[in-house]
Each structure stands twice: as structure tokens, then as C-alpha cells.
Amino acid sequence: MALKDFNIRAALIGLAFTASACATTPAVTPPPVDQPPPVTQTFPPGSLYVAMGSSFASGPGVTHTAEGSPQRCGRSNDNYAHQLSRMRQMLLVDVTCGGATTRFLLGPWEELPAQLDAVSADTRLVTITIGGNDLGYMSGLFRASCAQPPCQAVVAPSEQAYSELAARMDQIVATIRARAPEARIVFVDYPHVLPAQGVCAATPMTEADANMVREIARRLIAITAEAAARNDTDLLQASRLSESHDACAIEAWMNGSTNPNPLDGVAYHLKLAGMTAIADALHAMLPR
């Protein structure tokens, strides 16, 4: 075959292949061949770490209160952020606070500045445990366990409350990225308080109330996971980590309606063992 005829035939075959490919699959632009491999983010000693969130991050009653903690915030010297910062020799700014909602990460809360104000351009790691108070999760547990009537009923959050929580989680991530473009963001969801089914002496409530509280927890865990996926952040599933370690478990990481040991957390909150498990999991997740 003449070279000219070969070239014409090759061109026709190429056109036919291209037309067929375009009819069946969208065109994909290949990455540049000279693009360098992604850089693995590391956290050398002295890296700035900001911990934000509610009481499930602050750890009220776990061993001793951290120096400088506002009394109402209950920041423990052994919450997961403090333990992780010691493991990795990071510089911790702990602004977690019991009772906080997403609104108080985004804006001031009485005398407390917005938790996001702690994030600066030098921040390299941010952990967030938030959302329970937006949905009345903790208040629902305490209402369900009320021992002295008149007791308030457990109230299911509205769909609007769930939607607004998701939107504010997006806003929190956007604000962090605007202030600290190099920061790694990790959502830490809520560990389980109640067992998957049933109740026990540590959780004195009706099965109906327990199921309503479980549904709030389920939706909260799902919203956190969706926010992490939607915003391309990391997610540590403390919910999965804490399975079989609820308040009714033999090896409980969670207190029930009372806290027998005054140095091991408060009612319906994490014990030291739970905080340590989360800190260990974060340590394993982050690159050395």
C-alpha cells in the first residue's frame, strides 16, 4: 500500500473511532503528563491546631479542667484535642464549649467570641464536633430520663432545623478555608449514647423516647457525613468507633443519666476512655 493511501485510511479510521467514542461517552481531558504528584500533608511539631465544637468535644468532667477554660465550657485537659496535641506535639487552641451550637462557631456567644475567630492563616488542623445542641439531642436525653414530674416531652426537630444545620456546617467549612487555606479539616461525629435497641438502668427512659432520641442521633450522624463529603473534608466516625461502647455496654465509653465517678465525665457524655479512643483514631488518621 502506498504511504499516501495508508495515511488516508488511518485518518478515516481515526475519524470513525472518534465519532463512535463521542456518541457513547463524554470526552475526558487527561491530566498533564508533567503534573507533580500530590504533596502529602504533614503535621510537624509546633503545627497550629484549632479544636471547635460542643461538650462532646470539650469533655466536661473528664479528669481535670484545662487551664484557662471558661467555667461553663468545661474544657477538659484530657479531651480528645488535648490528648492528640500531646501525641503530635502540636500547638493547640481549644475553643470547644459545652452547649455550643453551629451559630456559636460562626458568631459570638455572649462574652465568648465566635469559635472560628481562633482560625488563622497559620492553622494546619481543625477538628469539629457540632450539631447536637442545634437539634436538642442532649436536652432530649435529659427530658427522656426525667425522674421528677412534671417532665417535658422529647421534641423531634423540624425538617427546617435539620436543613439549617447542614447549611451552617457548609458555612463553617467555607469560613475555615477562606482563613486557613492549608488547614486540614476533620469532622468528628457524635459517639453513641444509647444502644442500638432497648434501654438499661443507666438510661431510664421509655422505649418510645429512646427511639426518638436515636432518630435524632441518626440524622445528626448522617448530616455530618454528608457535610464532610459535600465539602471534601475528612470524617472521623466516632459513631462507628463507639459501637458496643454506649452507656449500657459492659465497656462503656459513655456515662448514663448519672456520673458515678466525678472525674470521668458528666451525665450522658463521654468518659476518658471514649476521649482517648477518639484521640487515638485521629492520631492514626493523620500522616506522620
Q: What is the CATH number of the domain that holds 84?
A: 3.40.50.1110
Domain assignment of residue 31, yes or no: no
The rounded mean pLDDT for the chain is: 89
For residue 34, pLDDT beyond 80:
no
pLDDT, tens digit (0-9, with 9 covering 90-100), for 223-239: 999 999 999 999 999 99
Q: What is the pLDDT of residue 74?
A: 97
Comparing CA positions, the residue from 240, 44, 32, 230 lying closest to residue 125 is: 44
| Element containing residue 92 per DSSP (H, E) | strand 91-94
Rounded-to-integer distance, Cα 71 and Cα 75, Å: 8
pLDDT band at residue 147, thresholds of 50, 70 and 90?
confident
Comparing CA positions, the residue from 113, 153, 114, 105 lying closest to residue 133 is: 105
Domain assignment of residue 220, yes or no: yes
Strand order across the beta sheet in which 48-53 lies: 91-94, 48-53, 123-129, 184-188, 234-236
Is 259 or 164 the better-scoring residue by pLDDT?
Answer: 164
Domain assignment of residue 183, yes or no: yes
For 193, the grid coordinates are: 449514647
Domain assignment of residue 15, yes or no: no
3-state secondary structure of 178: helix
The reported pTM is 0.85
| Element containing residue 93 per DSSP (H, E) | strand 91-94
Domain that holds residue 116: 44-285
3-state secondary structure of 5: helix
For residue 263, pLDDT beyond 90:
yes
Domain assignment of residue 14, yes or no: no
pLDDT band at residue 221, thresholds of 50, 70 and 90?
very high
Domain assignment of residue 21, yes or no: no
For residue 33, pLDDT beyond 50:
no
Structural domain count, the chain? 1
For residue 2, pLDDT beyond 80:
no
Q: What is the pLDDT of residue 126?
A: 98
Domain assignment of residue 210, yes or no: yes
pLDDT band at residue 40, thresholds of 50, 70 and 90?
low
Domain assignment of residue 38, yes or no: no
pLDDT, tens digit (0-9, with 9 covering 90-100), for 85-143: 999 999 999 999 999 999 999 999 999 999 999 999 999 999 999 999 999 999 999 99
Amino acid identity at 172:
I
